[in-house]
Structure 1
């Protein structure tokens, strides 16, 4: 598999980790999930991120999940592995294992201790040096979770001085102006890297029109994100917005803090992608009212899609 580069674009689906009801890893669901995402048109996969319940896996389980995904993907699309953690040694060990298994690159979120621009820059310069030039990485900018706000100027400095930082996972909110600022720098002669956006796809059409290259996030209907990206690439903004609008009520419901992954897994299980909607403990469980809401939203979504196709 080729290494991740600044030219990456499209939809890199954030893959959940499938569990059985008893909390054990459900290996067969990893296989079916990979096939589903690739069939849906995913340009890549990202595993063991924040929405992959990576923090609930021990070191051995992380390797098991990673290797199973890599084996099933078999080089058909690039795979990015989240390696964020409090200790550099464990991060580097996981990175080496990921690249040895065929990963295209790794993703690193900033630790909460980075409280100044200088510390943020120094941290990512160190990460770039420690990973080495043969390991490209994604800078995950998600201040709502990490508590670390990274100004566009700091990202520009990292991009300029850390050559193996090849992608920004943009999840600032509100953050459209940040995308515009970063693209102004690259248009003025600065180094251009790939920008893929998160936040459950809630602002995807606008992000693409500001200069983002695609999405790196999860949603129970990844085919929508793929379709929106392809419409924008083809220059048809109206078709992109029409498709996005048909899914927006469900996307809004799935974006609920604390409950979103449970909703996503419930729908993926309902679609037959994974065998169980279980989250590993601790994690929320949906109520009967929650599932009734989802069923109603799915029904209305199907009707909107029918009208869109007619």
Structure 2
């Protein structure tokens, strides 16, 4: 069942899926199945595979496609975006075409680290669009904290104006609220396209970004149902209620975005929630100490108490 290609109207929560491994470090396709089912049970609107959180750089080309095929086959028609960022343009092109043939809705491309200057950035994406052709929808992944490449709003607007296949901004610049507002203001100019904007950074600034015109989230927080419920409350015109719910989860949102151990925490929670058989990362990866796990126990217990006090416990545990 195909959900069609990604376009500028995309909205909701596109969960960035973890890649499950066995304790020995092999890709665990059975856990890919259970994780996909878990995300669907949380109400996600789409999936993003092979993102930075998906340990994509540790997978072989064959493993990458096997994960993509497995999720698309089980996603019940939800759109699947595939991260294809790579130092070599030919690798970007090949993985993009393989992903689209497998049934992906579009691909996500981050600029290669070290790219210099506005013209350098524009020219790189012009080459990407030429290599992929006009029929593959593209998400620009704007994550300068990792790439070291800053995307000025005027350069993004040039790309949107010149390349109709650019349909979404994955907004992770931080601080980035003013930038998000500037993009949305710029779209009011005559003849300019409005593109979809989904936000990341673990959801750290999610309610404020929704208030400023984001269309949803693309991140991997281990309680995806919160991301979905916050989106739905905003969609129903209940921003205050959305913020109240977000606030209950904020200590764990913040805890999960720690550099170095953030992914280990996220996988540990997914493991505890029964979504994957092992919290293992493929080497080289981080692991949690006994103290880290005890700390997490306490934070989850506090979350459950606060949810119970608001009558939301059942929803979070579904």
Measured against the shorter chain, the TM-score band is over 0.9
Following the alignment from structure 1 to structure 2, what is the Cα–Cα distance between the partners of residues 162 and 215? 23
Hey, what does 2:249 align to over in structure 1?
247
Hey, what does 2:110 align to over in structure 1?
109
Which runs of no fewer than 5 residues in structure 1 stay unpaired?
Answer: none
Hey, what does 1:91 align to over in structure 2?
92
Following the alignment from structure 1 to structure 2, what is the Cα–Cα distance between the partners of residues 128 and 306? 49
Following the alignment from structure 1 to structure 2, what is the Cα–Cα distance between the partners of residues 116 and 72? 42
Please give the residue correspondences for 1:1-310 in structure 2 after superposition, counting only pairs within 5 Å: 1=2, 2-74=4-76, 76-189=77-190, 190-309=192-311
Deviation of 1:140 after TM superposition, in Å, equals 0.2
- Tell me the number of residue pairs that the alignment of Structure 1 and Structure 2 aligns: 309
Following the alignment from structure 1 to structure 2, what is the Cα–Cα distance between the partners of residues 36 and 45? 12
Which stretch of structure 1 is more off in the superposition, 112-121 or 170-179?
112-121
Following the alignment from structure 2 to structure 1, what is the Cα–Cα distance between the partners of residues 260 and 269? 16
Deviation of 1:254 after TM superposition, in Å, equals 0.6
Deviation of 1:264 after TM superposition, in Å, equals 0.3
Which stretch of structure 1 is more off in the superposition, 136-145 or 114-123?
114-123
Taking only aligned residues, the RMSD between alpha carbons, in angstroms, comes to: 0.9
Which stretch of structure 1 is more off in the superposition, 121-130 or 244-253?
121-130
Which stretch of structure 1 is more off in the superposition, 4-13 or 120-129?
120-129
Which runs of no fewer than 5 residues in structure 2 stay unpaired?
Answer: 313-318
- 1:300 alignment partner, SS class: helix
- 2:303 alignment partner, SS class: helix
Following the alignment from structure 1 to structure 2, what is the Cα–Cα distance between the partners of residues 163 and 130? 14
Deviation of 1:100 after TM superposition, in Å, equals 0.4
CA deviation vs aligned residue, 1:35-65 (integer Å, no higher than 9, x gap): 1111111010000010000000111111111
| TM-score, normalised relative to structure 2 | 0.96
